[in-house]
Amino acid sequence: MTERVRLRPLIVAAAERLATAGVASPLPDAENLAAHVLGVDRMRLALHPMVEPDEAARFTALVEQRSARIPLQHLTGTAAMGEIELAVGPGVFVPRPETELLFAWALAWLETLPHDHDPVVVDLCAGTGALALAIAHARPDARVHAVELDPDALTWTRRNADDRIADGDTPITLHAADVTDPALLSELSGRVDLVVSNPPYIPDGAVLDPEVADHDPHRALFGGPDGLDVIRAMVPTIARLLRPGGATAIEHDDTNGGGVAALLAGAGFADIVEHPDLAGKPRFVVAARHSKP
């Protein structure tokens, strides 16, 4: 009979292997992979001090893949946003923890709306559908629209949207469309309460970690020489979509908070505020539309 294996030494060795490979968060990644293999929450690993030999082998294989800088989320197949988990994999941008801050701001802002109508929310560059689906989950009264152009990403958006419906969430409306199209969602002009976006915003030529450069689709990453090409094209559309009193929140590269703020100011937005990310770097800008464009 094959003996069971102690888990903690496996995790410690895995963390050392990942650190040597240059992984930024070796111990959390090792623990997350162990939790994935065992089918438990990471915080409950201490309740599983021993693992079966086949589980140890699966864990070791995943660690080797992670040491090759395959994204953790591609190995586990999921990423989180708010209270939901999303399916992720090759062909779609993996949602980042930083975007949770934009999501939290969006929910807090929606709470300030009067209760005279169901809020209308638009997510531009939806990718996995993370923001749109997390908002729909948290605010089942909202009518949420998600816009995505890339066919590969749309496959993931639809999969996640179907999964959320199966879990009882309110369906979102998915649009296969280009966020830089000036006529985008013309039927919603002046009717939208909130527009959120995590668009392609990395300046061309930026040096990226292998997890990003080799696995995230470049179409979801790069936003032209200054990183603002997509945002620049979206701002007039956002202004057109929003009702008076509506607001927007746009994620951006940490070099571009001032640039995004300037674009919004030039389009007539007010109450413009730049927000930092978890590391204190500029990460998203919010603004309000007080009058019709």
For helices 151-166 and 130-138, angle between their N-to-C axes, nearest 10 degrees:
20
Residue 257 lies inside a defined structural domain of this protein: yes
Q: Are residues 61 and 84 in the same domain?
A: no
Q: Are residues 240 and 105 in the same domain?
A: yes
- Separation of alpha carbons 20 and 16, rounded Å: 6
Predicted pLDDT of residue 115: 85
pLDDT of 190 strictly over 80: yes
Structural tokens at position 19: 């650190």
Q: Are residues 201 and 276 in the same domain?
A: yes
Q: Are residues 119 and 240 in the same domain?
A: yes
Q: Are residues 281 and 170 in the same domain?
A: yes
Check the annotation: does 71 bind a ligand.
no
Q: Are residues 24 and 149 in the same domain?
A: no
Q: What is the pLDDT of residues 83-99, one digit of tens each?
A: 999 999 999 999 999 99
Can you tell me the mean pLDDT for 149-174? 97
Residue 74 lies inside a defined structural domain of this protein: no
Predicted pLDDT of residue 279: 87
pLDDT of 2 strictly over 80: no
Q: Are residues 60 and 139 in the same domain?
A: no
Check the annotation: does 201 bind a ligand.
yes
Q: Are residues 63 and 170 in the same domain?
A: no
Let me know how long the chain is: 293
Residue 144 lies inside a defined structural domain of this protein: yes
The count of domains in the chain is 2
Structural tokens at position 172: 């979102």
Q: Which domain holds residue 138?
A: 80-289
Q: Are residues 24 and 94 in the same domain?
A: no
Structural tokens at position 133: 């689906």
Check the annotation: does 148 bind a ligand.
yes
Residue 185 lies inside a defined structural domain of this protein: yes
Look at residues 27, 7, 8, 31 and name the one whose alpha carbon lies nearest to residue 17. 27
Residue 75 lies inside a defined structural domain of this protein: no
Q: Where does a domain end: 68, 98, 116?
A: 68
Q: What is the pLDDT of residues 99-152, one digit of tens each?
A: 999 999 999 999 999 888 999 999 999 999 999 999 999 999 999 999 999 999
Query: Which CATH number does the domain housing residue 86 bear?
Result: 3.40.50.150
Q: Are residues 104 and 57 in the same domain?
A: no
**pTM higher than 0.85:** yes
Write 95-98 long-range contacts (CB < 8 A, 24+): 95/127, 95/128, 95/130, 95/198, 97/278, 98/251, 98/277, 98/278, 98/283
Check the annotation: does 198 bind a ligand.
yes
Q: Where does a domain end: 68, 90, 120?
A: 68
Can you tell me the mean pLDDT for 208-236? 97
Q: What is the pLDDT of residues 223-270, one digit of tens each?
A: 999 999 999 999 999 999 999 999 999 999 999 889 999 999 999 999
Predicted pLDDT of residue 290: 84
